[in-house]
Chains A and B, each alone.
Chain A
Amino acid sequence: MSVPTYSLNRCNEITRHFFESFGRDADFVSRSPGRVNIIGEHIDYCNFSVLPMAIDVEMLLAVHVVRGSTSIELKNADPKFAPRCFDIPLEASIGIDPALSDWSNYFKCGLLVAQTLCQETGQPMKDIGMQVFCQGTVPTGGGLSSSAAFICATALATIRAVKGPKYVISKQDLTRITADAEHYLGVNNGGMDQCASVCGEKDHALYVEFKPALKATPFPLPSSVRFIIANTLVVSNKFETAPTNYNLRVVECTIAASVLAHTHGVSLLGEKTPGNLRQVIYTLCERAKDTEGTAIQKDALDKIDEEINKLQYALNLVEETLGSRSKGYTMLEASTALEMTPEEFTREYLTSFPVRFHLLQLYLRARHVYSEALRVLQCLRLMTNVYSTSTDTQKFLRNFGTLMNTSQTSCRDNYECSCEETEQMCSIALNNGSLGSRLTGAGWGGCIISLCPDKESVARVKRALIDEYYNEKFPKISSSELDAAIIVSKPVAGSALYEYL
């Protein structure tokens, strides 16, 4: 699959802004949408599959390529993001300062990975500058992955600028190179956001797998379904709160995996980093299969059921192994559990990204990850059944909604990434016709997603959220702010280029 190209005529607004800013016409526009995760929160970095979809908000970059220059000029429609101008060094790669919170850093990440791809394919980025006008409708800090949309649009634009309009850019390549791009900033995310932004498909949810390879499989959703994505307006910048929130969770999961592996005599060699929760359970199940012949999974109905069995086994193992310390581990207790000195422990687990903590919650985090991975599979099974059998749509949606609600409970209680406002909005939505409501994205604020079976319930939920949440909490909120806060979307298509055709 390659990134599609459409006519530039569709982008009148941004090309007009480009002209006003730079006094010339843009050559092309690159676009990448935001995404919403329907279910499967905080498990992508443990390599468990997730179920996101691309949505109707996007990042657009209008670009003019300047041959013989090395300058990048960036302007943003949003005044919160001040203009930037920098030069690409002739001899070295572009510098990214991971200690600074700066919007141009995301551009530099996309630029850097695209540069590397061009280099690999024998066409290094040489003497090509760009004038770029950025205009986004993805709310920032809302958990809809504005950063991934920006990075993917940037990488796409850069490849297009270097390779010219005729070059065919594959979605696989674009996903592969952008998946790790945010690591340059010290955000240790899993690649789901970029995959969903690049590979999104109209009216389809994406089943995204990370192992054995990054892959997105589209599954159709019933046409009546609408998702309401509503912003709590509690801003959570993943980058700025990472040491106590996002990165700490990643670290807790890694340590939990190591404690499980160590306790059960599993060696997780063969990876650059310490193993993850998926690896532990797969290794253990492989071993069980070897010793007990083929008994364990012989009666498994299909692959999904086999996976479901593994995760149920994993949940029992968590209770058994970590359950006695459900209040959390101090640094000393965690290092003792791994038979390491505190120094070894610190070097191995705490120096990859800045972290700050009081206790490490290994039990709660592992319980969330395995149960959430299980819920994704249960959703997948519902989706594969809905068209193959005559299950009625209403029943499908009710079951789907229930899984979303359980996911929210686990995010709140096990992963501790919810907040008061999120809880409040979810109950308002559920009381007014939503079948399933939960936080989406990293959490700690940001957006909630609600599953609405039809147009009527969409209207009811929307009304209730405005009356009972927004007007109560933000009495001065304007109608345009409300429009931006509530997005009603069906799944949309992923990254695209707009050219003069």
Chain B
Amino acid sequence: MYHNKRSAVSTVPNEDPIRVGFIGLNFSRGWALKTHRPAILQLSSQFVITAVYDENEQMATNTIQQLKLVHATPFSSLELFSSFQHVDMIVVSVQASKQYELLMPLLEFSRRNSNLKYLLIEWAFASNLQQAEKVYQASAIRGLQTVVALQGRKSPYIQRAKELIHENHIGGINSIEISCNACWYGYERPRKFADGMFEMGSGLDLVTTTFGHTMDLLQYITGSYFSKINGLVFNNIPEQMLVDDSGRSMGRTSAKTVPDHLLFHGCLQRGNVPVSCTIKGGKPTKKFTKNFIIDIHGTRGDIKIEGDAGFAEMSNLVLYYSGTRVNDIPIAGANGHPVHPSLDQGKEFMEVYHLRNYDAVHGNIFRLYQSIADFHFNTKNIPRLPSQFIMQGFEFEGFPTLMDGLIIRRLIDSVYKSNLIGATLDVSHILQFPSSI
């Protein structure tokens, strides 16, 4: 677990901290308050919030006062916020449906801020592939280092699984099964959610969110993209029962046009590995099976990642491993000829990796910020570290960028396309730029 040794890594740089401008930070509610804010507090010598944007100026001012952001200036003009010189990194933490209309002018206005280096955007960063391609292009032309919050890549369980496969503990991958739960798309839904969230095209749905995060993690763990895929998308629950905050039925229904089930299968480019995936919309949750499972079968061992909640990117998981390591198997017989060991030979190791006190909601986002700081200040003293990179791909170091996000976006688009035309699609050209899909 080399990646986790940090005592000698300095988090107090000789330079000034990265100045952060926030869109979507609110003093009383929201994801950014719960996750981004604590992460920045823990890295207070590397990040400082210098600007807060809100359409409502009073709201921005209140947020700054309540959270005691003593270095921050409030903005209600996107233009002034984007061109504010005292910002090195802009964080956009708003719903996917609002990202595009914010990001396109923001990128344009930000040309007047010569200090701006980073743009951190929440997944899914746009409502559809066309918008996502445009956001990607605009940010590439603007020359920013982008970060996309596919924070599951920073989960210690995902990294441990990646490490086990990378160090050849399960041999070649034979097959993979995945099942998970998208939470909000079952028979009932809490009334506090806006109806718009359940309309097709909002950028938030079972395929985009749950499938997107999960498949990004699978590709990251295995170190491979897909070559062929096939998807069947269902909407068997066009009307959901509304429930109140304590889960009691309110006797009313509301329409839903987003999917409530996905059947997906495909094969990984590397090793032509069959992957089978089923995503359940939401409630009721499964009675006899965990709600999140990635089950990886190899020639010499298995890895299984399980969770109670459906979202791998923000829940505490358990990783199981059992298998034989290469160096546990004798490689030469008595006569000097190599021995081909049977699959059952060698010492079988069992590993259960679970961190009882790991807070994944905070922890994964914290680790994402930590990797941004590691890159910016080159805290690990990597020689000839470039000033920018296009994508993380399957590296341990670094962080996911808009390009990594775009690849997942293209996969999601292919899933819908496959469902629409009822065919298996070749997606091996998914990495091409510009996209030809």
Residue ranges of A at the interface with B (Cβ–Cβ < 8 Å): 70-71, 73, 79-90, 92, 94-103, 183-186, 240, 243, 330-331, 346, 350-358
Contacts and interface: CB of A to CB of B under 8 A. Distances in A.
Interface string B99-143: 000000000000000000000000000000000000000000000
Given A95-B359, A101-B4, A358-B350, A86 B318 contact: no
A87 B37 CA distance: 11
Contacts of A103: 7
Interface string B330-371: 000000000000000001111111111111001100110000
A83 B11 contact: yes
Contact of A85 (B9, B45, B156, B349): B45
B44 to A, nearest CB: 4
A274 to B, nearest CB: 15
B190 interface: no
25 contacts: A80-B8, A81-B8, A82-B11, A84-B11, A84-B12, A86-B43, A88-B41, A89-B37, A90-B68, A95-B362, A97-B367, A98-B355, A99-B358, A99-B363, A101-B5, A102-B7, A350-B350, A350-B352, A354-B351, A354-B352, A354-B354, A354-B355, A356-B351, A358-B349, A358-B350
B38 interface: yes
Main secondary structure of the interface of A (DSSP, over half): loop
A100 B6 contact: yes
A370 to B, nearest CB: 26
B42 A99 contact: no
A128 to B, nearest CB: 14
A352 B358 CA distance: 12
Nearest to A71: B44
Interface string B305-342: 00000000000001011000000000000000000000
A358 B10 CA distance: 37
A101 B7 contact: yes
B357 A96 contact: yes
B6 A87 contact: no
B390 interface: no
B9 A82 contact: yes
A97 B39 CA distance: 11
B42 A86 contact: yes
Contacts of A97: 358, 363, 366-367
Interface string B267-300: 0000000000000000000000000000000000
B1 interface: yes
Given A82-B10, A101-B7, A358-B350, A87 B44 contact: yes
Given A85-B12, A184-B357, A243 B44 contact: no
B420 interface: no
Nearest to A331: B350
Given A101-B5, A240-B5, A95 B349 contact: no
Interface in B2-56: 4-12, 37-38, 41-45
A398 to B, nearest CB: 43
Contacts of B44: 71, 85-87
B8 A89 contact: no
A88 B37 CA distance: 11
B10 A83 contact: yes
B67 interface: yes
